[in-house]
Protein backbone atom coordinates (compact mmCIF):
# COMPACT_ATOMS: atom_id res chain seq x y z
CA UNK A 1 0.00 0.00 0.00
CA UNK A 2 1.52 3.29 -1.05
CA UNK A 3 1.23 6.40 1.07
CA UNK A 4 1.84 8.44 -2.06
CA UNK A 5 -1.42 9.84 -3.30
CA UNK A 6 -3.73 9.18 -0.39
CA UNK A 7 -5.57 12.24 0.84
CA UNK A 8 -8.58 12.62 3.07
CA UNK A 9 -9.97 15.79 4.58
CA UNK A 10 -12.04 16.60 7.61
CA UNK A 11 -12.90 19.31 10.06
CA UNK A 12 -14.93 20.58 12.98
CA UNK A 13 -18.60 21.51 12.97
CA UNK A 14 -18.08 25.27 12.42
CA UNK A 15 -15.41 24.96 9.73
CA UNK A 16 -12.87 26.86 11.84
CA UNK A 17 -10.57 23.82 11.82
CA UNK A 18 -9.93 21.91 8.60
CA UNK A 19 -7.28 19.24 8.17
CA UNK A 20 -6.00 16.75 5.63
CA UNK A 21 -4.51 13.30 6.20
CA UNK A 22 -1.66 12.79 3.76
CA UNK A 23 -1.46 9.04 4.35
CA UNK A 24 -3.89 6.29 5.08
CA UNK A 25 -3.99 5.88 8.89
CA UNK A 26 -1.94 3.05 10.34
CA UNK A 27 -4.90 1.43 12.06
CA UNK A 28 -8.45 2.34 13.09
CA UNK A 29 -9.74 1.65 16.62
CA UNK A 30 -13.35 1.43 17.64
CA UNK A 31 -13.12 1.85 21.42
CA UNK A 32 -16.01 0.93 23.67
CA UNK A 33 -14.35 1.90 26.97
CA UNK A 34 -16.17 4.01 29.53
CA UNK A 35 -13.78 6.95 29.06
CA UNK A 36 -14.56 7.12 25.35
CA UNK A 37 -18.27 6.74 26.01
CA UNK A 38 -18.21 9.67 28.44
CA UNK A 39 -15.98 11.87 26.28
CA UNK A 40 -18.15 11.44 23.21
CA UNK A 41 -21.50 11.12 24.99
CA UNK A 42 -22.24 8.05 22.93
CA UNK A 43 -21.51 4.33 22.59
CA UNK A 44 -17.92 4.33 21.32
CA UNK A 45 -15.24 6.39 19.64
CA UNK A 46 -13.63 5.84 16.24
CA UNK A 47 -9.93 6.70 16.24
CA UNK A 48 -7.72 6.63 13.16
CA UNK A 49 -4.09 6.38 14.28
CA UNK A 50 -1.64 8.40 12.21
CA UNK A 51 1.70 10.18 12.50
CA UNK A 52 1.36 13.85 13.45
CA UNK A 53 3.54 14.87 10.50
CA UNK A 54 1.07 13.29 8.09
CA UNK A 55 -1.70 15.62 9.25
CA UNK A 56 -1.80 18.97 7.49
CA UNK A 57 -3.81 21.61 9.31
CA UNK A 58 -5.46 23.62 6.53
CA UNK A 59 -7.43 26.12 8.61
CA UNK A 60 -7.34 27.01 12.30
CA UNK A 61 -5.35 25.40 15.08
CA UNK A 62 -6.93 22.91 17.51
CA UNK A 63 -6.38 23.59 21.20
CA UNK A 64 -5.79 20.76 23.65
CA UNK A 65 -7.10 19.94 27.09
CA UNK A 66 -5.99 17.13 29.36
CA UNK A 67 -8.68 14.77 30.57
CA UNK A 68 -8.69 12.20 33.38
CA UNK A 69 -8.49 8.54 32.34
CA UNK A 70 -9.31 5.23 34.00
CA UNK A 71 -5.77 4.04 33.29
CA UNK A 72 -4.08 7.16 34.65
CA UNK A 73 -2.10 7.55 31.42
CA UNK A 74 -2.20 11.04 29.92
CA UNK A 75 -4.83 11.86 27.31
CA UNK A 76 -5.13 15.24 25.61
CA UNK A 77 -8.12 16.04 23.43
CA UNK A 78 -7.64 18.62 20.67
CA UNK A 79 -10.65 20.79 19.91
CA UNK A 80 -11.64 23.63 17.63
CA UNK A 81 -11.19 26.79 19.75
CA UNK A 82 -14.50 28.18 18.46
CA UNK A 83 -17.03 25.32 18.38
CA UNK A 84 -15.11 22.93 20.73
CA UNK A 85 -15.59 20.00 18.39
CA UNK A 86 -12.93 17.36 19.18
CA UNK A 87 -10.89 16.49 16.10
CA UNK A 88 -8.11 14.29 17.53
CA UNK A 89 -6.40 13.03 20.65
CA UNK A 90 -2.90 12.37 21.92
CA UNK A 91 -2.65 9.31 24.14
CA UNK A 92 0.06 8.31 26.57
CA UNK A 93 2.16 11.39 25.91
CA UNK A 94 3.14 10.03 22.48
CA UNK A 95 3.57 13.37 20.72
CA UNK A 96 4.42 11.77 17.37
CA UNK A 97 1.01 10.10 17.03
CA UNK A 98 -2.53 11.39 16.76
CA UNK A 99 -5.81 9.54 17.13
CA UNK A 100 -8.05 11.33 14.64
CA UNK A 101 -11.79 11.13 15.28
CA UNK A 102 -13.16 9.44 12.21
CA UNK A 103 -16.55 11.13 12.59
CA UNK A 104 -14.94 14.50 11.79
CA UNK A 105 -13.81 13.31 8.36
CA UNK A 106 -15.71 14.31 5.27
CA UNK A 107 -16.11 10.63 4.35
CA UNK A 108 -16.08 8.65 7.60
CA UNK A 109 -17.32 5.52 5.82
CA UNK A 110 -13.92 5.27 4.13
CA UNK A 111 -12.27 4.26 7.42
CA UNK A 112 -14.13 1.37 9.04
CA UNK A 113 -12.69 -0.02 12.29
CA UNK A 114 -9.82 -2.52 12.05
CA UNK A 115 -10.44 -3.65 15.63
CA UNK A 116 -13.01 -3.27 18.41
CA UNK A 117 -11.47 -2.78 21.85
CA UNK A 118 -12.78 -2.72 25.44
CA UNK A 119 -15.87 -4.57 24.38
CA UNK A 120 -16.37 -5.50 28.05
CA UNK A 121 -18.17 -2.17 28.39
CA UNK A 122 -19.79 -2.23 24.94
CA UNK A 123 -23.42 -1.20 25.13
CA UNK A 124 -25.60 -4.28 24.82
CA UNK A 125 -27.54 -3.07 21.77
CA UNK A 126 -24.35 -2.58 19.72
CA UNK A 127 -23.84 -5.65 17.51
CA UNK A 128 -20.34 -6.12 16.12
CA UNK A 129 -19.53 -7.65 12.73
CA UNK A 130 -18.03 -11.13 13.09
CA UNK A 131 -15.31 -10.38 10.55
CA UNK A 132 -13.66 -7.60 12.60
CA UNK A 133 -11.40 -8.62 15.52
CA UNK A 134 -12.82 -7.67 18.92
CA UNK A 135 -11.24 -7.74 22.37
CA UNK A 136 -12.60 -7.49 25.91
CA UNK A 137 -9.81 -5.02 26.70
CA UNK A 138 -6.69 -4.10 24.73
CA UNK A 139 -4.82 -6.28 22.25
CA UNK A 140 -1.36 -7.07 20.91
CA UNK A 141 -0.80 -4.70 18.00
CA UNK A 142 2.21 -6.76 16.87
CA UNK A 143 -0.19 -9.58 16.00
CA UNK A 144 -2.88 -7.46 14.39
CA UNK A 145 -1.34 -4.48 12.63
CA UNK A 146 -0.05 -4.80 9.06
CA UNK A 147 3.75 -4.96 8.95
CA UNK A 148 3.87 -1.63 7.13
CA UNK A 149 1.89 0.06 9.90
CA UNK A 150 4.08 -1.43 12.62
CA UNK A 151 7.12 -0.11 10.78
CA UNK A 152 5.57 3.34 10.47
CA UNK A 153 4.75 3.43 14.18
CA UNK A 154 8.23 2.23 15.08
CA UNK A 155 9.74 4.95 12.93
CA UNK A 156 7.45 7.64 14.35
CA UNK A 157 8.26 6.71 17.93
CA UNK A 158 11.94 6.21 17.24
CA UNK A 159 11.81 2.70 18.68
CA UNK A 160 14.10 -0.25 17.98
CA UNK A 161 12.76 -2.94 15.65
CA UNK A 162 11.20 -5.02 18.43
CA UNK A 163 8.57 -2.30 18.87
CA UNK A 164 6.50 -1.52 21.92
CA UNK A 165 3.00 -1.18 23.21
CA UNK A 166 1.33 2.13 22.64
ZN1 LIG B 1 -15.15 24.66 14.92
ZN1 LIG C 1 -11.66 4.15 24.85
> What are the tens digits of pLDDT across the range 19-70?
999 999 999 999 999 999 999 999 999 999 999 999 999 999 999 999 988 8
Residues 86, 78 contacting (CB under 8 angstroms):
yes
Ligand number nearest to the C-alpha of 47? 2
Contacts of 2 (CB under 8 A, 6+ apart): none
What separation in Å is there between the alpha carbon of 84 and the centre of ligand 1? 6
pLDDT at 149 over 80: yes
At 162, is the pLDDT very low, low, confident or very high (cuts 50, 70, 90)? low
User: From the CA of 27, how far away is ligand 1's center (Å)?
Assistant: 26
Of 91, 105, 112, give the one whose Cα is nearest residue 21.
Answer: 105
Classify residue 138 by burial, with Cβ atoms within 10 Å: 0-12, 13-18, 19+: middle
Ligand 1 midpoint to CA 13 (Å): 5
Buried b / exposed e over 102-119, threshold 16 CB at 10 Å, is bebbeeeeebebbbbbbb
pLDDT at 3: 47
Find the ligand nearest to 14 CA. 1
* pLDDT given for residue 1 in this prediction: 46
- The DSSP secondary-structure symbol of 42 reads S
Cα of 4 to ligand 2 centre, how many Å? Answer: 30
pTM: 0.92
CA 56 to each of CA 6, 52, 61, 90, 98: distance values in angstroms, whole numbers, following the listed order: 13, 8, 11, 16, 12
| Side-chain half-sphere exposure of 49, counting CA atoms within 13 A | 24
Torsion sign (Cα): 96, 61, 110, 40: positive
**For 101-145, how does the pLDDT look when each residue is reduced to its tens digit (9 = 90+)?**
999 999 999 999 999 999 999 999 999 999 999 999 999 999 999
pLDDT at res. 62:
98
- CA neighbor of 32 nearest in space, from 78, 80, 83, 70: 70
Q: What is the mean pLDDT of residues 143-148?
A: 98
pLDDT at 79 over 80: yes
Amino acid sequence: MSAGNFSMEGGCTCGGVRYRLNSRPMFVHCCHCRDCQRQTGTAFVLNAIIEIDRIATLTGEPVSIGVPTDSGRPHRIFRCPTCQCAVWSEYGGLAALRFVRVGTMDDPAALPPDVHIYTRSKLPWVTLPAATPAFEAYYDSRKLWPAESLERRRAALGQPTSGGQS
